[in-house]
């Protein structure tokens, strides 16, 4: 495994992926500087449903708000939901996976049963149920997506722990008197972070899609706060008459998810010793 520039350079997917992700991240961070208008306050009913023109590059929506500005601000919601919920998923998943893999026996059976149940319910349905209970809103989106989607990380971590556990350096650590948690977190975890990082990157993309779906269904971030899913929801009836209202936020979602997936794939190739350490 090597992060040298020589190795990174060879992976086109990683390069394109990280360029896209950095572009979206740049949009989110510098939104106030980049956006030509305010995303919510600069509404002017006179300019309702303007097609793309010099004044409004991406056109305007029903209330006459600049779509470009709303897409730029929308990246803040999408990225923060994606990163925060996947962070929660990773923390829960890694911890559960370590416990299940290292201790085995009934702990393993219990945790695996929970993930089996979670995996048998479609995530969107589960998230919808949680949202219905707690009511819509950004914080509730964080929670709903953060606690429902850790099964994949957990299962991956568990399988990695099971194979790492048999390695001699873990045996040696036990013989040297390392404590259980020190072995789990200091010996095993750093060595299995590669694949977990990859699946987490892909998880961010998944979370962004879920957030868009929730907002599209009206259970996510509430208007007027701009979110890509919410923008699509508002544009549903105008799909044929004013397609620009839905095309641009749709493209934003597409490019962000594509970027994250390419980045994740590239990262996996880079971390996979079978590919990099070719002899």
Partner 1 sequence: MTELSNRTKRPLLEVDHLHTSFHTFDGVVKAVNDVSFAMNTRETLGIVGESGSGKSVTALSIMRLLKSPPARIEKGRILFDSIDLLEISMSRMRDIRGNRISMIFQEPMTSLNPLFSVGNQMSEMFVRHQGLTRREAWNRSVEMLEKVQIPSPGKRAREFPHHMSGGMRQRVMIAMALACDPEILIADEPTTALDVTIQAQVVDLMMKLRKDYGAAILMITHDLGVIAEIARRVIVMYAGQVVEEADVISIFEEPRHPYTRSLLKSIPKLGDASTHGRKRLQEIKGIVPSLADLPAGCHFYPRCPHADPICRQGEIALEEPAVGHRVRCIRHAGL
Partner 2 sequence: MTNALLEVEDLKVHFPVRKGLFQRAQTFVYAVDGVSFQLNKGETLGVVGESGCGKTTTGLAILNLVRATSGKIRFKGNDISEIAGLPVPDQMRIRKELQIIFQDPYSSLNPRMTLNKILHDPMKIHGLYPGSERQDRIEFILKKVGLTPEQGKKYPHEFSGGQRQRIGIARALSLDPQIIIGDEPVSALDVSIQAQIINLMVDLQEEFNLSYIIIAHDLAVVEHISNRIAVMYLGKIIETAPVAQIYHRPQHPYTRALLSAVPIADPRAGRHPIILKGDVPSPRHPPTGCGFHPRCPECSIDCDIKPPELRSLGKEHYVACHYA
- Of 120, 168, 241, 278, which lies in the binding site for partner 2, with binding defined by CB under 8 A? 168
Binder of partner 1 out of 105, 166, 274, 279 (CB under 8 A): 279
**Near partner 2 by CB under 8 A: residue from 173, 247, 258, 271:** 173
The residue assigned the tokens 């350079």 is 9
Please identify, among the stretches 20-28, 110-118, 162-170, 221-229, the one whose residues bind partner 2 according to the rule CB under 8 A. 162-170
* Among 67, 5, 6, 61, CA closest to 36: 67
Using the rule CB under 8 A, give the single segment among 5-13, 48-56, 128-136, 228-236 that binds partner 1: 5-13
The binder of 276, among partner 2, partner 1, none, by C-beta within 5 to 8 A per type, is partner 1
In the complex, least distance from residue 279 CB atom to partner 1, rounded to whole angstroms: 6
User: Between residues 6 and 105, which has the closer beta carbon with respect to partner 2?
Assistant: 105
Which of 7, 40, 80, 159 forms a contact with partner 1 (CB under 8 A)? 7
Q: Which does 174 bind (CB under 5 to 8 A by kind): partner 1, partner 2, none?
A: partner 2
What does each C-alpha distance from 244 to 9, 53, 108, 233 come to in angstroms? 36, 11, 50, 13
Q: Measured between alpha carbons, how far is residue 185 from residues 30, 161, 166 in Å?
A: 37, 11, 16
Distance of closest approach, residue 173 Cβ to partner 2, in angstroms:
8
Q: Which residues contact 123 (CB under 8 A, 6 or more apart)?
A: 148, 149, 210
Q: Does 122 bind partner 2 (CB under 8 A)?
A: no
Kindly give the interhelix angle for 244-271 and 189-216, rounded to the nearest 10 degrees.
170
Q: How far is the CB of 6 from partner 1 (least distance, A)?
A: 7
Interaction between residue 271 and partner 1 (CB under 8 A): no
Cα–Cα distance between 250 and 232 in angstroms, integer?
7
Q: How far is the C-alpha of 219 from the C-alpha of 255, rounded, in Å?
A: 23
Q: Is 177 in the site for partner 2 (CB under 8 A)?
A: yes
Burial of residue 27 (CB within 10 Å: 0-12, 13-18, 19+) is buried
Number of residues that bind partner 2 (CB under 8 A): 16
Which residues of the shown chain bind partner 1 in the complex (CB under 8 A)?
6-7, 10, 276, 278-279
């Amino acid at each position: 495994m090597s992060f040298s520039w020589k190795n990174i350079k060879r992976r086109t997917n990683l390069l394109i992926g990280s360029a896209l992700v950095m572009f979206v991240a740049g949009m989110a961070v510098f939104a106030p500087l980049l956006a030509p208008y305010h995303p919510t306050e600069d509404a002017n009913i006179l300019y309702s449903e303007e097609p793309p023109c010099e004044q409004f590059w991406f056109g305007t929506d029903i209330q006459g708000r600049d779509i470009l500005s709303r897409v730029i601000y929308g990246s803040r919601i999408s990225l923060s939901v994606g990163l925060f919920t996947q962070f929660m998923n990773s923390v829960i998943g890694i911890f559960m996976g370590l416990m299940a893999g290292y201790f085995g026996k009934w702990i393993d059976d219990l945790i695996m049963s929970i993930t089996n149940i979670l995996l048998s319910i479609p995530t969107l349905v589960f998230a919808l149920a949680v949202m219905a209970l707690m009511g819509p809103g950004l914080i509730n989106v964080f929670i709903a997506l953060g606690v429902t989607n850790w099964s994949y990380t957990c299962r991956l971590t568990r399988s990695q722990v099971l194979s790492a556990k048999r390695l001699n350096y873990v045996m040696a650590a036990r013989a040297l008197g390392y404590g259980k948690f020190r072995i789990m977190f200091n010996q095993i975890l750093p060595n299995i972070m590669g694949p977990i990082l990859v699946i987490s990157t892909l998880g961010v993309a998944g979370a962004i899609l879920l957030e868009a779906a929730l907002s599209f269904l009206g259970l996510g971030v509430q208007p007027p706060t701009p979110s890509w899913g919410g923008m699509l929801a508002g544009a549903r009836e105008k799909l044929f008459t004013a397609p620009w209202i839905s095309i641009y936020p749709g493209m934003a979602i597409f490019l962000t998810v594509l970027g994250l997936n390419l980045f994740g794939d590239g990262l996996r190739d880079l971390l996979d010793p079978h590919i990099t350490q070719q002899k």
